[in-house]
């Protein structure tokens, strides 16, 4: 068994993962049939991705600039696309952070700007 070394690591959104997987699927289809795992991954990404990768990345970039919001949390926001304050609160429920109403509204405004 051969192990591969991780050379680089970065968080990506599900929309970006879908974009990457579509390229992988196209290349693998040329060589033959897709594996079970590849098909299941694409099915999952097709079901959950609700936004273009470029818009998801813009949400992450803008939300990450807000105080108290890490890149990891910004990615969760870009994937869930909250529409009401309670959805934002749920995303941050496990964190040791309490967002104020102003921060929640800023997040919702950013999401709304890119969602449509």
Q: Write the pLDDT tens digit of every residue in 66-111.
A: 998 999 999 999 999 999 999 999 999 998 888 999 999 999 999 9
Distance CA 90, CA 68 (A): 15
Instruction: Let me know if 26 is exposed, middle or buried by CB neighbors in 10 A (0-12, 13-18, 19+).
Output: exposed
Q: What's residue 103's pLDDT?
A: 95
**Of residues 60, 68, 61, the one with CA closest to residue 100:** 68
For residues 73 and 95, the answer to whether their CB atoms sit within 8 Å is: yes
Query: For residue 1, what pLDDT band results from cuts at 50, 70 and 90?
Result: low
Looking at the chain, the whole-number percentage of residues with pLDDT higher than 70 is: 99
Average pLDDT of the chain? 92
| Per-residue confidence (pLDDT) for residue 97, from 0 to 100 | 83
pLDDT at 56 over 90: yes
Supply the pTM of this predicted model: 0.84
Q: What's the pLDDT score for residue 20?
A: 94
Instruction: Say yes or no to pLDDT of 23 above 70.
Output: yes
What is the separation of C-alpha 25 from the centre of its chain, rounded to a whole number of angstroms?
20
Phi, psi (degrees; rounded to nearest 5) at 98: -115, 115
Running DSSP on this structure, what letter comes out for residue 35? P
Mean pLDDT of all residues in 51-69: 95
Q: Which of 76, 78, 81, 106 lies closest to 92, judged by CA?
A: 76
């Amino acid at each position: 068994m051969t192990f591969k070394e991780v050379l680089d690591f970065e968080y990506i959104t599900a929309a970006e993962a879908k974009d990457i997987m579509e390229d992988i699927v196209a290349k693998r289809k040329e060589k033959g049939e897709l594996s079970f795992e590849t098909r299941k991954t694409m099915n999952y990404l097709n079901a959950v991705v609700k936004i273009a990768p470029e818009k998801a990345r813009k949400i992450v970039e803008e939300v990450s600039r807000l105080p108290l919001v890490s890149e990891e949390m910004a990615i969760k926001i870009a994937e869930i696309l909250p529409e009401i304050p309670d959805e934002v609160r749920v995303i941050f429920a496990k964190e040791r952070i309490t967002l104020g109403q102003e921060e929640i509204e800023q997040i919702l405004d950013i999401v709304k700007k890119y969602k449509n």
